Structure 1
Amino acid sequence: MTSYDIAVLPGDGIGVEVMNAAMEVLRALETRIGSKFTMTVHPAGAQLYSETGNALPDSTLDACRKAHAILFGAMGLPHVRGKDGTEVIPQLDIRFALDLYAGVRPIKTWQGLPVPLRDRRAAEIDLVLVRESTEGLFYARGRGTVEGSGDDSYALDTMKITHKGTARVCDFAFRLAEQRKAAGKRGHVTNVDKANVFTSMAYWRQIFEQRAKDFPSITVENAYVDAMALNLVMKPWQYDVLVTENMFGDILSDLIAALVGGMGMAPSADIGDDHAVFQPAHGTAPDIAGRGIANPSAMLLSAAMMLDWLAVRHDDPALVDGARAIEKALQTSFEKKEVLPFDFGGSSTTADIANAVLRHL
């Protein structure tokens, strides 16, 4: 039996609750696919910061470096902030420390769940947003300054776009489009920028177009971020893979989650050349934490993404079987109307959804 060491960081709020569901499902998969998941829980998060002054202990980060993969719940609490007034968000520290440059946000419609768009083509939504996650405007985190005084004071945050950072995330998006095309999807990449206004974005677009030449089987287009926000609401079914800067990706990834019902169905991964973190795209939801009603679907789907990534990295097709088993079990649970999450107007608890998936594995 092949064994994989998984660093588990449940974090804050509902992160703990949805992580428990994911760990239960992964344990149930072990005998089915002949793999062993050694899941070790490590401390990190805003609550830890409020208690110790350290949101991400060195021991936790070291464990992340040594693990085969990192499974992450949710971190951050609105009332826990650093000296500069910003929230304590250790997941950003992990991205920078492990050079996790590709933020992968897949979104699809799930049969059996209602969607907010009335157009019947909404049933065809199946796209992936790839967000550059180590620079862009997020480069300014911890580097911003407030200058001057009184009425003449102002704040500065610097956006950083490098050739290396842009080229590698564009290549990631092109390779992903190739994989999707091989699976019968469109094989199309849309670059999202603001090249009509910012020099940094014009530079980004130049690099995108240069890298596109190395992927002749993939069709491409450019779009401004404001127009893309409109088109993602009006006709999201026409998109395949999007690639964009860090801040734009942060915003658009929430928008696309809304298209299929909300953050409870939005898995994600932050992937680098050597490490990867898998987590639901939602936050800690302190308003419902402890009530047992959080939708664990995004967490379960993030675990499936982890299995897919490990399968490629370690040439282990059994893990692909495990990923598809999780997805199929979740889909069956929705199609048979066995569960309906609270965020879709239902009454199914976290445990209800996890147990339904376990029954169908």
Structure 2
Amino acid sequence: MKKITLIKGDGIGPEVTACAKKVLDLLVDDLIWTEVSAGLETLEKYGELIPKAVFDSIEETRLVLKGPLTTPIGEGFRSINVMLRKKYDLFCNMRPALTIPGVVSRYEAIDLVIFRENTEDLYAGIESRTDEDTRHSIKVITRKGSTRIIKAAFEYALAHNRHKVTLVHKANIMKETDGLFLQVGREIAKAYPDIVFEGIIVDNMCMQLVMNPHQFDVIVTMNLYGDILSDLCAGLVGGLGVVSSANIGDNFALFEPVHGSAPDIAGKNIANPIAMLLSGAMLLEYIGYYNEGKALRTAIQEVLKDPSNHTTDLGGKCKTDAFTDAVCKAIAIGG
């Protein structure tokens, strides 16, 4: 029996989280869900972006599946997602970018995993006004933060038979902050002699990913670069609608799609649930249901081989519930 906090989210969030819950319950019969609400719609209804019940549930289950949330512009938290990552020290953001057969993309056979440090860098939110015409934002990089995300990348590479870790930085210019990150990477790499290690400057990395993404395997970097590069890599495999993410700390873990809440299509039964389903697969694997996670990925791939199962964003006409039912059928056949 495993308890999970389900944050339904805004816009299409309730639709795609309902899909994920249906599929995960089919795969595993002892999941216990606590459904809670947060975000813009919750603020409008109850006067709070994140009610206390959300925090209480997270602190009980320590495991979260979350739909997309809308952060109000000009008020409230800088970002609800950033706040949750910092509050629960979810230092490791893991974003796979994997080619899915049947999804049109510019490249074939992409299989990358990005490890992004999730709590430091410019996203620490340390900003100030020196005068009316000048603003400062402080970049924070620590040895502790650098060590744990780089170790996570190497340990993943070791456990999954990956052969190369690429550390992305701008240490040629930011010699103290990025220089520390690169220094820590070089030190840690010595403990993994069977894994190739390289450091690449971030602007060159962007060019190299577009020219030849197949040269990379596991990528590890700081918060801002990771935010940018992970979306770039999503573009290599078909967009944000087909990529998942995990935010993992020592005591808590949160799984979510990285696309927006898409309020313009909410309630129309046309949202693509793939990113949410794949995030659910990552959750299953995290709690030890490896075969079930693999079965879900395989079912999605089988369903997408038929163009009639493609949702609007993938160039088809399939409805959200019909896609979910097709995945459930594929699981039943494969099981």
Give the TM interval when normalised to the shorter protein: over 0.9
Q: What residue number does 1:144 align with?
A: 127
**1:257 is matched with which residue: 212, 215, 234?**
234
Q: Secondary structure of the equivalent of 1:55? A: coil
Q: Shift in Å at residue 321 of structure 1? A: 1.4
- 1:334 corresponds to 2:311: no
Q: What residue number does 1:316 align with?
A: none
Contact map agreement 2:110 2:213 (CA 8 A) in 1: yes
CA pair 87-275 structure 1, distance change in 2 beyond 3 A: closer
Q: Shift in Å at residue 68 of structure 1? A: 4.7
Q: What residue number does 1:168 align with?
A: 148
Identity %: 37
Q: Secondary structure of the equivalent of 1:123? A: coil
**1:24 is matched with which residue: 22, 37, 41?**
22
Q: How does 1:336-351 map to 2 (within 5 A)?
A: 336-351=306-321
Q: What residue number does 2:84 align with?
A: 94
Q: What residue number does 2:327 align with?
A: 357
Q: What residue number does 2:64 align with?
A: 70
Contact map agreement 1:45 1:89 (CA 8 A) in 2: no
Contact map agreement 1:144 1:155 (CA 8 A) in 2: yes
Q: What residue number does 1:134 align with?
A: 119
TM-score by length of 2: 0.95
Q: What residue number does 2:51 align with?
A: 57
Q: What residue number does 1:106 align with?
A: 96
Unpaired segments of 5 or more residues in structure 2? none
Tell me the distance in 1 between the aligned counterparts of 2:97 and 2:195: 20
Whichever residue aligns with residue 64 of structure 1, its letter is I
Tell me the distance in 2 between the aligned counterparts of 1:37 and 1:70: 12
Q: Secondary structure of the equivalent of 1:351? A: helix
Q: Shift in Å at residue 159 of structure 1? A: 0.9
Tell me the distance in 2 between the aligned counterparts of 1:13 and 1:19: 11
Whichever residue aligns with residue 52 of structure 2, its letter is D
Contact map agreement 1:75 1:89 (CA 8 A) in 2: no
Q: Shift in Å at residue 109 of structure 1? A: 0.6
Tell me the distance in 1 between the aligned counterparts of 2:156 and 2:307: 32
Contact map agreement 1:13 1:286 (CA 8 A) in 2: yes
Q: Secondary structure of the equivalent of 1:74? A: coil
CA pair 147-46 structure 1, distance change in 2 beyond 3 A: farther
Q: Secondary structure of the equivalent of 1:269? A: strand
- 1:178 corresponds to 2:178: no
Count of residue pairs brought into register by the alignment: 330
Which one is further off, 346-355 or 336-345? 336-345
**1:218 is matched with which residue: 187, 190, 195?**
195
Q: Shift in Å at residue 49 of structure 1? A: 2.6
Contact map agreement 2:11 2:263 (CA 8 A) in 1: yes
Unpaired segments of 5 or more residues in structure 1? 312-318
Q: What residue number does 1:195 align with?
A: 171
Whichever residue aligns with residue 283 of structure 1, its letter is G
Whichever residue aligns with residue 67 of structure 2, its letter is G
Tell me the distance in 1 between the aligned counterparts of 2:47 and 2:120: 26
Q: Secondary structure of the equivalent of 2:287? A: helix
Q: Shift in Å at residue 155 of structure 1? A: 1.2
Q: What residue number does 1:272 align with?
A: 249
CA pair 285-255 structure 1, distance change in 2 beyond 3 A: same
Tell me the distance in 2 between the aligned counterparts of 1:214 and 1:61: 38
**1:323 is matched with which residue: 290, 293, 305?**
293
Contact map agreement 2:62 2:251 (CA 8 A) in 1: no
Whichever residue aligns with residue 357 of structure 1, its letter is V
Q: Shift in Å at residue 52 of structure 1? A: 3.8
Tell me the distance in 2 between the aligned counterparts of 1:51 and 1:240: 45
Contact map agreement 2:77 2:83 (CA 8 A) in 1: no
Whichever residue aligns with residue 20 of structure 1, its letter is A
Q: What residue number does 1:305 align with?
A: 282
- 1:81 corresponds to 2:66: no
Q: Secondary structure of the equivalent of 2:5? A: strand
Q: What residue number does 1:123 align with?
A: 108
Q: Shift in Å at residue 180 of structure 1? A: 2.1
Contact map agreement 1:76 1:88 (CA 8 A) in 2: no
Q: Shift in Å at residue 82 of structure 1? A: 3.8
CA pair 52-81 structure 1, distance change in 2 beyond 3 A: farther
**1:46 is matched with which residue: 23, 40, 43?**
40
Tell me the distance in 1 between the aligned counterparts of 2:47 and 2:190: 48
TM-score by length of 1: 0.88
Contact map agreement 1:55 1:88 (CA 8 A) in 2: no
Q: Shift in Å at residue 215 of structure 1? A: 1.5
Q: Shift in Å at residue 92 of structure 1? A: 1.5
Whichever residue aligns with residue 241 of structure 2, its letter is G
Whichever residue aligns with residue 205 of structure 1, its letter is L
